[in-house]
A = this chain, B = another copy of it.
Amino acid sequence: MEIRTLRTFVTVARLKGFSAAARELNTVQPAISRQIHDLEAELGVSLFWRSTRDVRITTAGETLLQEAIEILAHEDRARKLVQRAGQGQIGRLRIGFLSSAAQGFLPAIVRSFSTDFPQVQVSLFEMTAAEQFTALETGQLDIALSRPLPAGAAEHFGSIEIYTDRLFVFLPEGHPLAAQARIAIAALAAHPFVLFQRPGAPGLFDQIITACRRAGFSPEIVAQPNSMQAVLTSVASGIGLSVAPGCIRQLDIKGCVIRPLQADAGSIPFELHHRTDRTEPSTQAFIDLMINSREDIRSRMGL
């Protein structure tokens, strides 16, 4: 009992004739004859009473007709469901993000995605860059929105640059350096630093330290909070100054003054990461949306 056979059977029953069914199915009458004959043989049941003039369905045939119609409808439904799933219209999407870097644009992007793919279950996880990397590796995350991955570890992952941020100096109001419109790295040498703790964002931390070394000093780090908001609060409290990407301006910066760091103390790329070995269609759809939205995101981030 194959779908094809059932479709033939239903057509014969509906048109009450083998020849008519053959015409509708773009084949010839003997082919229909044999399909029905074989189906009857397989089931051990006669489905039609035939004479050369008319074809009448039997009780067994009527029973099969009901079931066959349902099965065919089910097959059709399955095809559509699977194709929608294959296009990413059904599924789930687990996104890890750095709140400081993503909260400026992520809500708008997710809202837009959910409008186009209403049956995709989107979950957002705020995680540090390191946590995102681990989660992506173990399959607990489909998308990571974070900083560049450690060079060697990026083997099985695809990366797409969303925007490139620059470093800024965050100063407490009234700080002497606030008088300058741009601040050279060397000018920070004598001041205490407050930096986001290294384990959560090793790339950023090391990049800042490297820039300082290149400028001829090693910064005195007086605090390493575990959130960017805590870093800002520390700065506003006068504990020290901080160096951080411009996206941090999205947070609450009352009591802080921001000045660009002179020259290219280092670009801070913000990237989308995903596995390349198995990419869900819904994940791919989100990636496509992100790529198409890069210009919007950059202008929204003030770049």
Q: Does A28 make an interface contact (CB < 8 A)?
A: no
A15 in the interface (beta carbon within 8 A): no
Instruction: Say whether A60 faces chain B, with CB atoms less than 8 Å apart.
Output: yes
Could you give, for residues 62-82 of chain A, a 1 whenever the CB lies within 8 Å of some chain B CB and a 0 otherwise?
Answer: 111001101100110111011
| Given A59-B91, A59-B281: A45 and B1 interface contact (C-beta under 8 Å) | no
Q: For residue A50, give the distance in angstroms from its CB to the closest CB of chain B.
A: 10
Are B4 and A49 touching (Cβ within 8 A)?
Answer: no
Q: Which of A's residues lie within 8 Å of B, judged by CB?
A: 1-4, 43-46, 49, 51, 56, 58-60, 62-64, 67-68, 70-71, 74-75, 77-79, 81-83, 85-86, 90-92, 277-278, 280-282
Chain multiplicity (copies): 2
Minimum C-beta distance from A6 to chain B (A): 8
CA distance A163 to B91 in the complex (A): 72
B4, B60, B280, B282: which contacts A86 (Cβ < 8 A)? B60
Q: Which chain B positions have C-beta within 8 A of A278?
A: 49, 56, 58
Q: Which residue of B lies closest to A48 (CB)?
A: B278
Measured between beta carbons, the chain B residues less than 8 angstroms from A81 are 63-64, 67
